[in-house]
Amino acid sequence: MYTNISRKVYHSLLDLKMGFPIVVRLKNNEFVIICSSETITEKSLLMIKNFSNSSLSIVLNKHRMEYLFEKPYNNNLYAISFSNKLSASLCKKLSFSKINKDSNLMDKAIISLEKRVEILNIIDLMRKDHSIPSVVIGNLNIEVVDRNNDFKLKKITVIDHSELKLNAAEKDKLKLISRTDLPILSCKKTEIVSFRSLNTKKEFFALIFKNGDNQEIPLVRIHSQCITGDLLDSLKCDCGSQLKSAINMMSLNGGIILYMPEEGRNIGFFNKIRAYDFQFHGLDTVDANLALGFDSDQRDYFAASEILKQLGTQKINLLSNNPDKLSRLQENGIVIKKCTQLKVGVSNEAKNYLRTKKIRSGHNL
């Protein structure tokens, strides 16, 4: 079940995703008002300006800053303010759009470090929630804070720094929802098991072939959802081929496939499509994720480990080419008795994708 704190954070993230501002009480008892740079509108921007006693800034993380300025940055967050008018369209361009490096978007921009841990926590929560990790921020006038009814009248969520800190450290707690037979074309003796997170909106499922969960060391594939590859047979990646190959292997000898809602290495489906556009203009899959402000790979495999434990399977033969997946599972209590390479055919269109996997992500290809 959602705790009161996780419910409050969930509603705050939903407000941000819908373009509404929220108010955050900082540890020093000051207040800031923020809105998502991705979904901000001129109306919500005006609301922030009316409540704020300072000039507004847009906060970006180091990945996005390195894309914009083409040089390394050492700190996590930076605040950019402008002497001229900040508009909603400028916020969107700075936070997730492809940028013409010859543009004058940064004219008269003032860049400073954003060190407040509360802002870091909420941007990290946005990143995990597949929202562009960037906010527009203003300091609240204390007189406005005293008139708290203004927030209630405008239905602005107020959240405390302690709620953000606790939720940022929270891991997915999973509950097994249902289990039933699911005969499929290649294997009639298949079961499907569904799981739901108790503190996020995520849903997961496992396919169990020929009682694979009863095998001493079952073959296990942890597959990240890829709508374009799994359903549409996209030639840009090998995901669909890997899924089909894993199903065929387990249809013969049994095993378990975990199907994880982790599009684009867990940046979300819409952001993956944005990343595709960056790739079309010359970036590889790693740099495309970074250009949007996300990590190159945001999967942590905690939920996958929890599913395996609930299935009673903690010693496995991992079907994967990804050494990071192996080490992350081991960190979460799964014993990898063997790691089996998964080889599939690759289209010409996916060769750069595979090259990046091998060279930059260390996959065994």
Write down the number of H helices and E strands in the chain. 15, 14
Q: Do 188 and 120 share a domain, yes or no?
A: no
The per-residue b/e assignment along 81-119, b for 16 or more CB within 10 angstroms, e otherwise, is bbeeebebebbbbbbbbebeeeeeeeeeeeeeebebebb
Instruction: Note whether residue 13 is domain-resident.
Output: yes
Which stretch of 118-132, 164-178, 219-233, 346-360 has the lowest confidence by average pLDDT?
164-178
Q: Do 179 and 140 share a domain, yes or no?
A: no
What average pLDDT does the structure give for the chain?
91
Return all residues near 84 (Cβ < 8 A) that are at least 6 apart.
107, 108
Look at residue 329 in the predicted model and tell me its pLDDT. Answer: 97
Of the residues 114, 138, 168, the one at which a domain ends:
168
Residue 109 domain boundaries: 4-168
The number of folded domains in the chain is: 2
- The residues carrying an active-site annotation are 297, 299
Contact 98, 67 (CB under 8 A): no
CA 229 and chain centroid, separation: 19
| CATH number of the domain residue 76 falls in | 3.90.870.10
The packing angle between helices 161-168 and 4-17, to 10°, is 100
**Region 40-66 average pLDDT:** 92
Q: Do 202 and 245 share a domain, yes or no?
A: yes
Look at residue 1 in the predicted model and tell me its pLDDT. Answer: 43
Q: Do 154 and 74 share a domain, yes or no?
A: yes
Q: Do 127 and 178 share a domain, yes or no?
A: no
Contact 303, 272 (CB under 8 A): no
Instruction: Note whether residue 282 is domain-resident.
Output: no
CA 362 and chain centroid, separation: 21
Q: Do 10 and 112 share a domain, yes or no?
A: yes
Instruction: Note whether residue 163 is domain-resident.
Output: yes
Rounded to two decimals, the pTM is 0.92
Of the residues 168, 186, 221, the one at which a domain ends:
168
Q: Do 32 and 82 share a domain, yes or no?
A: yes
Look at residue 151 in the predicted model and tell me its pLDDT. Answer: 62
**Region 136-143 average pLDDT:** 85
Contact 260, 33 (CB under 8 A): no
* 203-209/255-260 β-pairing: antiparallel
- How far is the C-alpha of 120 from the C-alpha of 110, rounded, in Å? 20
Beta-carbon neighbour count of residue 18 at 10 Å? 10
- Percent of the chain beyond pLDDT 70? 92
Of the residues 168, 200, 222, the one at which a domain ends:
168
Q: CA–CA distance from 24 to each of 54, 112, 140, 154, 250 (Å)?
A: 15, 20, 10, 15, 50
**Region 259-271 average pLDDT:** 97
Look at residue 53 in the predicted model and tell me its pLDDT. Answer: 77
DSSP per-residue string spanning 247-300: HHHHHHH-EEEEEE--HHHHT-HHHHHHHHHHHHTT--HHHHHHHTTS-S----
Contact 304, 203 (CB under 8 A): no
* pLDDT exceeds 70 at position 290: yes
Q: Do 15 and 161 share a domain, yes or no?
A: yes
